[in-house]
Amino acid sequence: MTHPRLLAAVFLLSCIAGCRRQHTLFEKISSSHSGIKFNNKIVENDSLNPLSVVNIYNGGGVGIGDFNNDGLQDIYFTGNMVPGKLYLNKGGLKFEDVTGKAGVDGEGRWSRGVAVIDINNDGLMDMYISNTIYKDSLRKRNILYVNQGIDKNGIPHFKDMAAEYGLDIHVQSTMASFFDYDNDGDLDMYLTVNEAFNGNSTSVFLQRSTRSVNASTGRLFRNDNVAGVPHGVFHDVSKEAGVVYEGYGHSATVCDINNDGWKDIYVSDDFLSENILYINNHDGTFTNRAKEYFKHTSFNSMGQDVTDINNDGLVDVVELDMNPKDNYRKKKMLSANNYNTFQNFERLGYQYQYVRNTLQLNQGPRILENDSAGAPVFSEIGFMSGVAETDWSWTPLIVDFDNDGYRDMIVTNGFPKDVSDHDFIAYRAKSSSNENPLKLLDKIPVIKLANYAFKNTDGLHFEDVSEGWGMITKSFSNGAVYADLDNDGDMDVVINNINDEAFIYKNTLREKKDSASHFLQIRFQGDKENIEGLGAYADIYYPGGHQTYENNPYRGYLSTYQCLAHFGLGKIE
């Protein structure tokens, strides 16, 4: 006979557990409700696999924009082996797949990043797709989908006009960032490039070449007026601008890092290749000053963001790497720091690099001998802040998710094959060179991991709230964005996954209307050559607080965020 008190206790515990599950900050919306069934499915073969193409699992991005001007943010996913998909927001977190009607399936190319931009300033949002992997120049040519208008059913229609704009680029492109580098009023473009195929060459120390632009160098394109052409045409000015440093580029953020009124570019590079900080010289050229600004950086640098973490009005730098949090995976994946590696850093003039996430805290400008302001001083506080270890990470989403006045962070992570697993590396070293590569692939561990969520508690310290915020589903997640998909004043999350359906997370904060924190959202409007106001600033001041935001939607990894400044205010009215 079961005692009634025991039954009551079990029921109570079940109720408590159930209530805890129901009250996470984020609620994962099912594809049956949202209509979003996009799955970036990748199937390995004997020529396309992580042993022959090291960046095969670098994933795809997410683009946010209101493509049919109905006031709701729509979503575009880039696909690798699968077509890209455009979903129109129908309200209530329901979406309609209009890819075929809109004509934006990616043309059968291996797409990586998506930059949403009104390229011709006509009030209709366009998309620039970066393509990669294939060696055939036609199959890796980038695509510029120009919005041709919205039909009577509210569906936008697009046409590839990359050639007309000078943007039919066919390098191994990662992501484009549009910005005004020469302060002439129109938007230019920096293209991140990652020419990495065989992992052997990526781990060899070389004297870095800066004499000319080569296959693994990012590109800078200037927007020029051409007689008889009704729109700007982009020209490659990389060499004359000093954009000549090679590296396996994963991401880049445009920002005015030294507050001099001119846009700079911070580039995160994978493997041994150093990160690059192109400081704008105000004359159309840039100088790499990364070693002057940072004492060290991440090693396998992935996604990044440059934004103010501690509300002091100075932009800080967050950069992701692949250091696991638990000791078991550290022992399985990481190698010990090598003395010879650091000797080579010194001998060849490399920046010091460490395999971990880094958070570079901006301490303000250094004071020079004549009391003038010099370059800013950065202190790296990744370990102190609690965000240094999130495994094989890709996107840092940095925004105030709980509207308490401090920017929080969500980190996507995962890689379908643990190619750095020490047991596999030892097995591969002993295996025959004639072994079938597909059989060799079966020996690589496959481990899914949950994404991370961190609450910013005081501007300098982050608390791991992954479970409490509902980030518990294990996945291989890459590009991601935040956006207010339901216009309720809190930021929702969209994540592009490999071999799984994309994640749509609804932020439930505003459902508690009686206790919800306040917020302020600012939309930007510029002049006729930059109607989105890219590069503009928003500074807000209130009792005891100051927040700032630089209008740049190209952040994180492979993705375009909602073009909006979102400030959480806590209880400030």
| Ramachandran bin of 183, using left for φ above 0, alpha for ψ from -120 to 50, beta for the remaining angles | left
- Using CA atoms, how far apart are residues 261 and 272, in angstroms rounded to an integer? 32
503-507 vs 297-298, strand pairing mode: unpaired
- Using CA atoms, how far apart are residues 247 and 518, in angstroms rounded to an integer? 43
Q: Supply the pTM of this predicted model.
A: 0.94
| pLDDT attached to residue 12 | 47
For range 114-120, the mean pLDDT: 99
| pLDDT attached to residue 203 | 62
Per the model's pLDDT, the better-predicted residue between 184 and 434 turns out to be: 184
Strand order in the sheet with 264-270: 248-255, 264-270, 276-280, 286-288
- Using CA atoms, how far apart are residues 355 and 363, in angstroms rounded to an integer? 23
Q: Do residues 479 and 57 make contact, with C-beta atoms less than 8 angstroms apart?
A: no
| pLDDT attached to residue 342 | 78
Q: What mean pLDDT is reported for the chain? A: 92
**94-103, 448-457, 487-496, 508-517 — which is least confidently predicted?**
508-517
For range 485-491, the mean pLDDT: 97
pLDDT > 70: what percent of the chain? 92
Per the model's pLDDT, the better-predicted residue between 347 and 152 turns out to be: 152
Per the model's pLDDT, the better-predicted residue between 501 and 427 turns out to be: 501
Among 199-208, 292-301, 504-513, top mean pLDDT goes to 292-301
For range 167-180, the mean pLDDT: 97
| pLDDT attached to residue 217 | 92
- Using CA atoms, how far apart are residues 528 and 457, in angstroms rounded to an integer? 41
pLDDT > 90: what percent of the chain? 77
**Tens-digit pLDDT profile for residues 185-219:** 999 999 999 986 555 455 666 666 666 667 789 99
Lookup: tokens for 184:
């002439």
DSSP H or E stretch at residue 475: strand 474-475
pLDDT range class, residue 17, cuts 50, 70, 90: very low
| pLDDT attached to residue 9 | 47
| pLDDT attached to residue 403 | 97
**Tens-digit pLDDT profile for residues 330-371:** 999 888 777 788 788 878 878 889 999 999 999 999 888 787
| pLDDT attached to residue 350 | 84
Is the pLDDT confidence value at 25 over 90? Answer: yes
408 phi, psi to nearest 5 deg = -95, -175
Lookup: tokens for 175:
């992501």
- Using CA atoms, how far apart are residues 424 and 477, in angstroms rounded to an integer? 23
**70-74, 336-340, 501-505 — which is least confidently predicted?**
336-340
Nearest to 454 by CA among 297, 565, 309: 309
| pLDDT attached to residue 30 | 98
- Using CA atoms, how far apart are residues 403 and 398, in angstroms rounded to an integer? 12
Is the pLDDT confidence value at 502 over 60? Answer: yes
| pLDDT attached to residue 115 | 99
pLDDT range class, residue 512, cuts 50, 70, 90: confident
Query: What is the separation, in whole angstroms, between the first and last Cα of the chain?
Result: 59
Distances (CA, A) of 459 to 273, 311, 400, 541: 31, 7, 11, 16
SS3 341: helix
| pLDDT attached to residue 207 | 62
| pLDDT attached to residue 556 | 98
Q: Do residues 318 and 398 make contact, with C-beta atoms less than 8 angstroms apart?
A: yes
Per the model's pLDDT, the better-predicted residue between 219 and 274 turns out to be: 219
| pLDDT attached to residue 10 | 44
**75-89, 116-130, 272-286, 339-353 — which is least confidently predicted?**
339-353
pLDDT range class, residue 19, cuts 50, 70, 90: very low
**20-24, 99-103, 303-307, 317-321 — which is least confidently predicted?**
20-24
Is the pLDDT confidence value at 44 over 80? Answer: yes
DSSP per position, 402-413: T-SSS-EEEEEE
| Chain-centroid distance, C-alpha 68 | 25
pLDDT range class, residue 436, cuts 50, 70, 90: confident
For range 276-290, the mean pLDDT: 98
Is the pLDDT confidence value at 21 over 60? Answer: no
| pLDDT attached to residue 7 | 46
297-298 vs 353-354, strand pairing mode: parallel
How many CB atoms are closer than 10 A to CB 530?
A: 20
Domains delineated in the chain:
25-570 (2.130.10.10)
